[in-house]
Structure 1
Amino acid sequence: MSGFTQDRIGWRPWLTPLAERELTDEHYEALVDKARAASPYFLLLARDPRILHARTQTDNDIFYNTDGGLPRAERELAATATSRRTGCVFCASVHARFASHYSKRPDDVQRLLDEGVDAPQDGRWRAIIDASQALTATPAEFGAEHVAALRAAGLDDLAISDAIHAAAFFNWANRLMLSLGEPDTEETG
């Protein structure tokens, strides 16, 4: 599957995840949110509860920490741009929905999905998208010019740090998800 969408789609693992009935208290603690037990991705990662817990705590701090920094909409934008660049259709769909919801700019988010990371955007979003894709490139292309562009777009040090963390985390998370399975449009996730 290669079509980027804001629709809910599923994900199919290539390795066998744990069955929900196999989960112990340690697994539920690692999931942080019991609702994740319905996700094949999290059930697969639950095979190593300590790593899953560390991954989930990092994810939560990047996206749900409201102590200043980048607004949630733009953290989700960074994750969407990263997912678009890596080709992770599943993650792009999830984070595009959040970016649309929190920014109230669904058309701009859809343009990113449809036309790619070089699609026209306003200056602030352009700086965030450019920094995200530069961090995602292999080898990384991110440099002082991206920090300067983020700063010129009005981001302070904490907001710049949040943009970098969101893109870097999702660069890793996308590559993990892409190596463990594939998007599934026949079931929602």
Structure 2
Amino acid sequence: MNDIIRSHGFTNESLEWDAWLDVVDLDHATTEQIAVLEESHPKAKISDYYRFLVHQPEILRQRSAAFNAIMYAPGGLPRAERELSTTVVSRLNGCVYCASVHAQRFEQLAKRNDVIRQVFADPHSAGTTKREEAIARFSAALTEHPNEIDAGQLRELREAGLTDAEILDLIHSIAIFAWANRLMLNLGEPVFPEMAPAS
């Protein structure tokens, strides 16, 4: 899908991310650091993000295991809906890089980007179906007011068709991005490509 969206400072384009602090030089990395990079993500060795975090290899190993289990485990909440949720969270937290990555992943899985355009414009009202609307509203609520979540909001998810296992996956995906967004926002910045104006 080549439909580029730029809206409210967010985009579905592929962005780079530059760390503000020194990243690990692969030529001087330890055997453990290389091993952790290789098990974390296919592109970890060329990513400033991973090469910064691998200063503490065991912490990165635990982070990657948790992230991969939450985002990629089979069963439960469909992958596209996990990506939709994390795009909402990233949009609200102001993490342009994370929002772009997970918008793209949603588009790859769902083969459409209509709801991504809505998320960038107003995450609180996004959704092309009742189920998507419920996921977006809950993602926003848990991101902005986690202490105010109540049974009524869980009931809304169930009424939209989510099972309890899917709701648990949704909560996990929202929670890990509450942390991941803040990590990226405090350690570096997104780098935009030079491209033609978007639609």
TM-score by length of 2: 0.86
Which residue type is aligned with residue 15 of structure 2? I
> 1:50-129 residue pairs with structure 2 within 5 A?
50-66=58-74, 68-113=75-120, 115-121=121-127, 122-129=129-136
Count residues in correspondence: 184
Q: 1:22 to 1:34 in 2, by over 3 A?
A: farther
The structure-2 alpha-carbon separation of the partners of 1:22 and 1:186, relative to structure 1 and needing over 3 Å to count, comes to: farther
Q: 2:48 is matched by which residue type in structure 1?
A: P
Q: Partner of 1:69: helix, strand, or coil?
A: coil
Aligned counterparts of 1:83 and 1:22: Cα–Cα separation in 2? 33
Indicate the RMSD between aligned Cα atoms, in angstroms.
1.7
Match for residue 175 of structure 1 among 168, 175, 182: 182
| In 1: Cα distance, 2:189 partner to 2:145 partner | 21
Is the counterpart of residue 37 in structure 1 residue 76 in structure 2? no
Alignment of 1:135 with 2:142, yes or no, is yes
Give 1:30 deviation, angstroms: 2.1
Task: State the shift of 1:170 in Å.
Answer: 0.7
Percent identical among aligned pairs is 42
SS of structure 2 residue aligned to 1:78: helix
Over 3 Å counting, the alpha-carbon distance change for 1:28 and 1:149 in structure 2 is farther
Give the structure-1-normalised TM-score. 0.91
The verdict on how the C-alpha distance between 1:29 and 1:143 changes in structure 2, with shifts beyond 3 A counting, is: farther
Q: CA deviation at 1:101?
A: 1.4
The residue aligned with 2:169 is 162
How big is each residue's C-alpha offset from its partner over 1:134-189, in whole Å with a ceiling of 9 and x where there is no partner? Answer: 221156443322211111111111100111101110111001110111111148xx
List structure 1 segments (4+ residues) > 3 angstroms apart after TM superposition: 138-141
**Is 1:26 matched up with 2:32?**
yes
Structure 1 unaligned segments of length 5 or more: list them. none
Structure 2 gaps, min length 5: 1-7, 195-199
Quick check: 1:12–1:183 contact (8 Å CA) kept in 2?
yes
Asked if 1 retains the 8 angstrom alpha-carbon contact of 2:125 and 2:136, the reply is no
In the alignment, is the contact (CA less than 8 A) between 1:13 and 1:40 conserved in 2?
A: yes
